[in-house]
Amino acid sequence: HNGATHDLVGFLGIHTELLSDSIMGLVESGAVTGRLKTRERGRVATTFAMGSADLYEWIDDNPAVMLLPVDICNNPLVVAEFSNFCAINATMQVDLLGQCASESIGHHYVSSTGGQADFIRGAVEGNGAKFGDEFFGGLEDGGFESSSA
């Protein structure tokens, strides 16, 4: 850990549209506790989950996970209630002007925008909030790499 990352351990909270295995790992490691969250304190709040059988087993009857209706979880007014909220959204391509394409790679449709705009709107309206996109670029061998955009 570098100093900045180490200082965040135990202070992070999760409020997300999609809960995945990687978030489960962050909670189990103690990096995410949600103890400073304005809402759903001490819990990971999400609308749905997608991942491994281990993830679904971990979610089942877990008091640290709260499933919310999408109209609450993705509501920009709800997101804006959080102090220092950082909206991190996935994207597939970024052009030289910084424009992000989150639904397709070229002409190949991959995903939908989902709650991206909702979380950015909430982050912008919130107290001390930030937002950014996570760029996934294809490698020649067919794999993917990730870097901040």
Residue numbers annotated as active site:
17
Contact 51/27 with Cβ under 8 angstroms? Answer: no
Q: Which of 73, 78, 77, 11 is nearest to 47 (CA)?
A: 73
What is the number of other CB atoms lying within 10 angstroms of the CB of residue 33? 20
Under 8 Å CB-to-CB from 149, ≥6 apart: which residues?
91, 94, 98, 100, 132, 133, 134, 135
Distance from the first to the final alpha carbon of the chain: 22
Contact 135/89 with Cβ under 8 angstroms? Answer: no
Report the alpha-carbon distance of residue 56 to residue 61 in Å, rounded.
Answer: 10
C-alpha dist (Å) from residue 34 to 27, 44, 110? 9, 7, 31
